[in-house]
Amino acid sequence: MAADASVIEEIVRAARSQSPPVARLPEEETRRHVALVLPVVLAREGDLAAAARLGADRAAQGVPITALLHGVQAGRSRAAQIAVVRGRAAGVPERVMLTALLELEPRVGALERAVVNGYRTAELELAGTARDVRFQVLRRLLHGEVPAEEDVLHAGLRPDGLYRCLASNVADPVQVRAVERRLAVCGGVFGLVDGRLSGLTPRLPDGLDADVLVVCAPPARLGEAAGMYALCGSALVAAEARGLRGLRELTDLAGVTALAAQPALAGLLNRTLLGPLNPDDSFHRELAATALAYLDHERRLDRTAAALHVHPNTVRYRLGRLEEVVGASPGTEGTVLDALRWWWALHTWLEPGE
């Protein structure tokens, strides 16, 4: 079970469904810890350091201990259910399964104690430090609370200053420290908020590692930080879905963020504009990809052809064939909003799983 990706996914879903604070963490972060902890439990022996690290990481990420335990217990219950279902399917007698589950109970109890100990140890290490004070101010600002002016100053922020809100895809505490050092060169305050490295800074660094995605809002007053943070979070999800990396301006992601918030409407557009297309037909996918490239290149045949490394007549032919199949095409006529409807429909239709 420990090596079965489908089992890990089931446990991840269970943990996130029963604990909203855990669900706010990046899914990959939950998956990483399940993959580390599950083999330790099933082995019935060995070091429980992975469980202690889980507790310590969640403390650093600001997840309440009760929410953490809700997630752990939900994952534990789901793992037991899967074991029973698989055991029955394999013809394992009920008594044998019950004995096996009872034998695991002491190990599971030890795991939960290790999680709590790791959490409490990290909590004590963080409490009262200057870093923790700054982090608490940051978290309150990004969650819409109003810290006292003295606390804001103590965190190194100016109450009347303009700051850029940042939200990133960085969740691993080890990577967080490295990225935070890079960001801190520009001043400001940073920390794990809702499981992701976030912050407020007066200016941006020159660049970041290739695998890091950071969405940054325009400069704003501290009173606007919570609204900016919410927008950055939405834009981060949309940017991650498109595989984007690097420093990204929130305003540059406005379009994809707004569209990503309406998946049901995207589905209606797909059925209305592209209903006759078959996602399993490679030729149909080629037609849709060509039409999308056409829109991305200002509906210019020459630029589209250069981008696709084909002749302009090939682009013209594919657009014509698309029109034959669906009854229309994103031609040179129409308004910007017409082009947007086509772009949105084509883009979502071509995405995996559509």
Residue 249 and residue 137 in one domain: yes
At 198, give phi and psi (nearest 5°): -135, 175
Residue 224 and residue 278 in one domain: no
Each residue's pLDDT tens digit, 22-45:
887 778 888 887 887 777 766 655
Find all residues with CB under 8 Å of 11, minimum gap 6, and list them: 34, 38, 75, 78, 79, 82
What pLDDT does residue 332 have?
64
Q: 297: helix, coil or strand?
A: coil
pLDDT tens series, the chain, 354 aa: 656 788 888 888 888 888 888 887 778 888 887 887 777 766 655 567 888 888 888 887 778 888 888 888 888 888 888 888 888 888 888 888 788 778 777 877 888 888 888 888 887 776 656 567 788 899 999 999 888 888 898 888 999 999 999 999 988 877 888 888 888 888 899 988 888 899 999 998 877 777 899 999 999 999 999 999 999 999 999 999 888 999 999 999 998 999 888 888 988 998 999 999 999 999 999 999 999 999 999 899 999 999 999 999 999 999 999 999 999 888 766 788 888 999 999 998 998 654
User: Burial level of 302, CB count in 10 A (0-12/13-18/19+)?
Assistant: exposed
Q: Using the 3D structure, point to which of 253, 277, 311 is the last residue of a domain.
A: 253
pTM of the entire predicted model: 0.65
Residue 117 and residue 182 in one domain: no
Residue 209 and residue 300 in one domain: no
Residue 73 and residue 172 in one domain: no
Residue 204 lies in a domain: yes
Residue 54 lies in a domain: yes
Distance CA 331, CA 318 (A): 12
Task: Count CB-CB contacts under 10 A for residue 273.
Answer: 20
- Torsion, Cα 13 19 21 27, to 10 degrees, reads -10
Residue 104 and residue 163 in one domain: no
Residue 211, both tokens? 């695998």
Residue 34 and residue 108 in one domain: yes
Each residue's pLDDT tens digit, 72-127:
888 888 888 888 888 888 888 888 878 877 877 787 788 888 888 888 888 777 66
Residue 258 lies in a domain: no
Residue 135 and residue 242 in one domain: yes
CATH code for position 330? 1.10.10.2840
Count: domains in the chain: 3
Residue among 348, 353, 351, 352 nearest 264 (CA): 348
Residue 270: give the domain boundaries.
Answer: 263-350
Residue 139 and residue 248 in one domain: yes
- Judge whether 68 and 119 are in contact, CB under 8 Å: yes
Residue 58 and residue 86 in one domain: yes
- Torsion, Cα 19 20 21 24, to 10 degrees, reads 120
Residue 247 lies in a domain: yes
Residue 81 lies in a domain: yes
Residue 196, both tokens? 């992701």
